[in-house]
A and B are shown apart, each in its own frame.
Chain A
Amino acid sequence: MIEAINEALDIKLREDPDVIVMGEDVGYFGGVFRATAGLQEKHGKTRVFDTPISECGIIGVAVGMGAYGLRPVPEIQFADYIYPGLDQLISEAARLRYRSAGDYISPMTVRSPFGGGIFGGQTHSQSPEAIFTHVSGLKTVIPSTPYDAKGLLISCIEDNDPVIFFEPKRIYNGPFSGYYDKPVEPWKRFDESIVPEGHYKIPLGKARHVTQGEELTVLTYGTMVHVAEAVCREKGVEADILDLRTLVPLDIEAIEESVKKTGKCLIVHEATRTSGFGAELSALVTERCFYHLEAPVERVTGFDTPYPHSLEWAYFPGPVRIGEAIDKMMAG
């Protein structure tokens, strides 16, 4: 997935002289996850550069660059460290088009590694997507495969609205079934890792059908797509798994169609439960598919605690927690 992201950035830097890549350690060194490796050498120091350690500054100057007419792609090293930039994202980037009635826009794409499962402890594991989905004017996008990562990132960079692009770092190098004691299989053994060369786009606001099934709808995104898929396969449940890909704008049509078909809806995310994005999904499904539901909507999520270090696998919404929810729903 890292290579796919790198390719997307490389293509947009080549195609559009207004694209700028910046962030802590992204320049000479190529990023702590190698997402920007080689880009500075190829495109020059004024297109790809290192910044001071200041998330408020990184997002703030990106708003100014967008007002000038550039298309900045700032990186926040970990989603856990995006908070110093929140005022600039929420009060400025998200509202600029609205408050100026289109005089100024903020066409930036904030890339940031997110999610747990890597013994990252409290400040290298968080999934703060619900903070952003709650903000009018921001789009939130989360890929789960290399193919999607490249196509979605190109779409984000070309989009004229500010986008938060969260990269699930647990699956940078290969998908994750949730069985943390098994070795990770690299992406190259999976079909989704086949990434076409050159420019292609995946539209924002469109979910991906991971598997088709009649028994149960699973709404999920990021790392949890792979965990949910593995559990459904083991359980022998014919699930309609939707990888949402874009949380805002949401593919409500795909969700309604699926839940009306299956009558059951399971929501899975890594983020904490209370006021998480799952709550919005559950409310939408209940409002729109109430007479089709054969069981209460279930949410499998992280617990309402800070992300622990030693108890990571007790915290992570893995196969046991998802399996129990599926058993309960299928019995009902």
Chain B
Amino acid sequence: MADRPEEAAGKGVNKPSLSLHVPEPTYRPGDPVDFAHIVVPEAGAQARPDEACEAIETSDLCYDLIRVLGDDNKAHGPWDPKLDPDTLRTMLHNFAMTRAFDERMFRGQRQGKTSFYMKCTGEEATSISAAMALASDDMIFPSYRQQGILIARGYPMIEMINQIYSNKGDKLKGRQLPIMYSSREHSFFSISGNLATQTPQAVGWAMASAIKRDSRIAATWVGEGSTAEGDFHSACTFATVYNAPVILNVINNQWAISSFSGFAGAERTTFAARALGYGLAGLRVDGNDPLAVYAAERWAANRARANAGPTLIEHFTYRAEGHSTSDDPSGYRSAQEREEWPLGDPVMRLKNHLIEIGEWDEDRQEALDKECVDHVKAVTKEAEKNGILGHGLHHPFKTMFEDVFEELPWHLKEQSEQAIRERETKFPEGRPNS
């Protein structure tokens, strides 16, 4: 211990004594909010390197913020994806539909029709705009807040609601917590409750695609909080080692339930900058700018498809609502944050852009919003015919034992018979509707 300079001098203690830094968010409930410290660079000011560039050439972009839509609602700079108005209107339609879906499902949970729901309000661009930049058969490894991708890919909404209600129409047979969708047909991987596990899986899928000399790529979505998981480190390492055709989307919405992004390391660096240490290309994008998100995802997709390597994209956004129906954000953050968030709302920004370029107007927006609300309402009514949670219209008991293995082993056969016996004891006259 004599190698400590203070000790050698006979003093024996640290001065000042060591202290542990525990991060603290800037605003707590009741605090007025001022986001002046968040640097919002000018739209169009970011350089767009060649898609096949060395990862190190993206260094500046890891600390910047790629933006296309300016305060003037016009598209600016080299990242402008120059989308045609029809594509922009489709994007807006997907936004509006996802928002209407979220509103209705949240209310459904409050009405006791299901046990649980999670909204993606404010983050629609990070999933929908990103997915629209990919091919429809590129494989998606989502987290739980990318429902907009299923809507953008044309997955039948009734299947989503059947899943949320765990009813007899649920393709996942009531086995999964609401919103943990799966659709092989729509190249949408089964959602797991275990965070970040999908990230090395996406890399493995991409490696498989490369092994088979396929042309499809993989993309994964993970929250900034989950980047602290070991799996994310594995994903970044494997992605670089094998030059896997994969895009790692990090949705930095500032909050992991009640923990602000400082607990995932955001106080001292950006999440995009993590890419550089692995040798990945990194982009940091305004996650509420639908055009910038589209452009960044397309850049990364082209890079992956050209065997030029994987990309990590940090989508800088804000979780406008609670974490889930089980969460009340007024217990840990200022209610003003949402209003003061400097990057605005992705739906409004796209709408205003379309109006600015003369391809949209307020009346059409009103009609669109109404159409979406009516559609979701009609589909919900249809889905409710298959039952709602806890009202008896579920899959037969024996299905609980199926798909554990490809074939039913003897011990599951025995347990299946037991469950059916118990049901007969409980309802000797038979139970209606089940």
Contact = CB atoms under 8 A, between A and B. Distances in A.
B208 A137 contact: no
B172 interface: yes
B404 A97 contact: yes
B230 interface: yes
Interface string A70-81: 101000000000
Contacts of B403: 97-98, 101-102
B207 A61 contact: yes
Contact of B192 (A20, A52, A99): A99
A76 to B, nearest CB: 14
A68 B209 contact: yes
Contact of B206 (A64, A92, A159): A64
Contact of A64 (B173, B184, B193, B208): B208
Given A65-B211, A101-B182, 14 more contacts: A52-B234, A54-B233, A54-B234, A57-B200, A60-B203, A61-B238, A64-B200, A68-B208, A91-B193, A92-B201, A99-B190, A99-B192, A103-B183, A104-B189
B410 interface: yes
18 contacts: A20-B208, A51-B241, A52-B237, A57-B200, A60-B199, A60-B235, A65-B204, A65-B208, A68-B212, A70-B212, A84-B230, A87-B197, A92-B192, A97-B406, A98-B403, A99-B192, A104-B190, A161-B405
B201 A64 contact: yes
Interface in B392-422: 403-406, 409-411
Contact of A99 (B176, B234, B235, B411): B176
Contacts of B230: 56, 84
B305 interface: no
A250 B404 contact: no
A205 B199 CA distance: 34
A252 B406 contact: no
A54 B239 CA distance: 13
B110 interface: no
Interface string B164-186: 00000001110110001011100
A186 B211 CA distance: 39
Interface in B222-269: 230-231, 233-235, 237-238, 241
Contact of B237 (A54, A99, A161, A249): A54
Given A57-B237, A61-B207, A249-B411, A100 B190 contact: yes
Nearest to B230: A56
Contacts of A96: 190
Interface string A28-60: 000000000000000000110001101011001
B376 interface: no
B433 interface: no
B235 A205 contact: no
B218 interface: yes
A195 interface: no
A221 B156 CA distance: 50
B194 interface: yes
Interface residues of B, number: 47
A136 interface: yes
Contact of A60 (B183, B193, B234): B234
A67 B202 CA distance: 9
Interface in B350-366: none
A72 B204 CA distance: 10
A139 to B, nearest CB: 7
A46 B202 CA distance: 18
Contact of B234 (A56, A70, A159): A56
A126 B133 CA distance: 49
A169 B100 CA distance: 59
B271 interface: no
B182 A100 contact: yes
Interface residues on A, range: 35 or more
B86 to A, nearest CB: 32
B318 interface: no
A65 B208 CA distance: 5
Contacts of B141: 64
Interface in B247-296: none
B124 to A, nearest CB: 25
A100 B190 CA distance: 6
B79 interface: no
A252 B192 CA distance: 33
Contact of B218 (A64, A98, A159): A64
Nearest to B213: A46
6 residue pairs, one from A and one from B, having the closest CB atoms:
A64-B204, A60-B200, A61-B204, A57-B234, A68-B208, A64-B201
B205 interface: yes
Given A92-B197, A101-B175, A64 B203 contact: yes
Contacts of B204: 60-65, 67-68, 72
Contacts of A52: 234, 237-238, 241
Contacts of A282: none
A57 B196 CA distance: 12
Given A64-B202, A99-B175, A137-B405, A104 B208 contact: no
Contacts of B211: 20, 46-47, 65, 70
A96 B182 CA distance: 10
A67 B410 CA distance: 27
A160 interface: yes
Interface string B97-136: 0000000000000000000000000000000000000000
A90 B207 CA distance: 22
Contact of A68 (B190, B193, B205): B205
A69 B187 CA distance: 13
Interface in A245-260: 248-250, 252
Interface in A238-277: 248-250, 252
Given A56-B230, A68-B208, A101-B171, A91 B192 contact: yes
Contacts of B410: 249, 252
Contacts of B218: 64
Given A46-B211, A60-B204, A64-B207, A101 B172 contact: yes
A208 B192 CA distance: 38
A91 B190 contact: no
A61 B192 contact: no
Contact of A104 (B184, B206, B231, B405): B184
B138 to A, nearest CB: 12
Interface in A79-116: 84, 87-88, 91-92, 95-105
